[in-house]
């Protein structure tokens, strides 16, 4: 008997699940009330960041960031990923002390992706920033991707692997059905 899966929602997570399941030999149908990427997954800011993550999220954020380095090999498209770096700016000395503590905390956990930068380095990186800012916490390599392009790339790769997408179908309820032999 074929192993069949229905995924409800064709956002990033639905398309990702469809690709993964298709690669594992499942017969996958993805259903969406609108179309792939129509809602949050296709219209967000596209941030790809490790900066400022909760300590429990850091390993996952780093693993995801590493995948972004060669997204083309995963879905055949770089998804518009641009590693421009991100900076959390301190507006005063108290903010700077908080960022200093954050850098120490992250390093104590064994990670080194967040680096404290002083006023001079901040000016080099962000010359239009207000002059009173004493520094910041930088994470080089963080950046952004094009959200709709990302969802579309994952969908196309899932389709290449056999997933079927059905759009314009709204799920309003699910009724359990006994399976023969269960």
Instruction: Kindly state the percentage of the chain with pLDDT values over 70.
Output: 98
pLDDT in tens, 40-59: 888 889 999 999 999 999 99
Among the ranges given (109-113, 124-128, 174-178), the one the predictor scored with the smallest mean pLDDT: 174-178
Cα 95 from Cα 79, distance rounded (Å) = 34
pLDDT at 182 over 60: no
Nearest CA-CA partner of 139 in 129, 128, 120, 125 = 125
pLDDT in tens, 138-180: 999 999 999 999 999 999 999 999 999 999 999 998 888 887 6
pLDDT band at 1 (very low <50, low <70, confident <90, very high): low
Instruction: Kindly state the percentage of the chain with pLDDT values over 90.
Output: 87
Q: What angle is formed at CA 152 by the lines to CA 69 and CA 86, rounded to 5 degrees?
A: 40
Torsion (CA) 128, 124, 112, 96 in degrees, nearest 10: -60
pLDDT at 75 over 80: yes
Q: Which residues contact 64 (CB under 8 A, 6 or more apart)?
A: 48
Q: How many residues appear in the chain? A: 182
At residue 37, the pLDDT reads 87
At residue 39, the pLDDT reads 86
Cα 89 from Cα 132, distance rounded (Å) = 11
Pairing mode of beta strands 47-48, 27-32: unpaired
> Which CATH code is given to the segment(s) 1-46+147-182?
3.50.50.60
Please give the residue that has the higher pLDDT: either 181 or 17: 17
At residue 175, the pLDDT reads 87
At residue 110, the pLDDT reads 97
Domain boundaries, the chain: 1-46+147-182, 47-145
């Amino acid at each position: 008997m074929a192993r069949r899966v229905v995924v409800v929602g064709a956002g990033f997570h639905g398309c990702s699940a469809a690709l993964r399941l298709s690669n594992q030999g499942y017969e996958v149908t993805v259903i969406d009330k609108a179309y792939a990427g129509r809602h949050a997954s296709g219209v967000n800011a596209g941030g790809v960041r490790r900066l400022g993550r909760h300590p429990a999220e850091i390993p996952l954020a780093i693993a995801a960031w590493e995948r972004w380095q060669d997204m083309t090999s995963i879905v055949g498209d770089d998804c518009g990923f641009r590693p421009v770096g991100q900076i959390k700016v301190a507006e005063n000395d108290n903010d700077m002390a908080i960022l200093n503590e954050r850098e120490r905390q992250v390093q104590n956990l064994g990670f080194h992706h967040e680096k404290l930068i002083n006023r001079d380095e901040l000016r080099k990186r962000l010359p239009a920033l207000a002059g009173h800012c004493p520094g910041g916490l930088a994470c080089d390599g963080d950046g952004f991707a094009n959200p709709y392009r990302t969802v579309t790339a994952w969908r196309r790769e899932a389709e290449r692997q056999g997933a079927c997408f059905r759009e314009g179908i709204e799920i309003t309820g699910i009724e359990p059905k006994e399976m023969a032999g269960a």
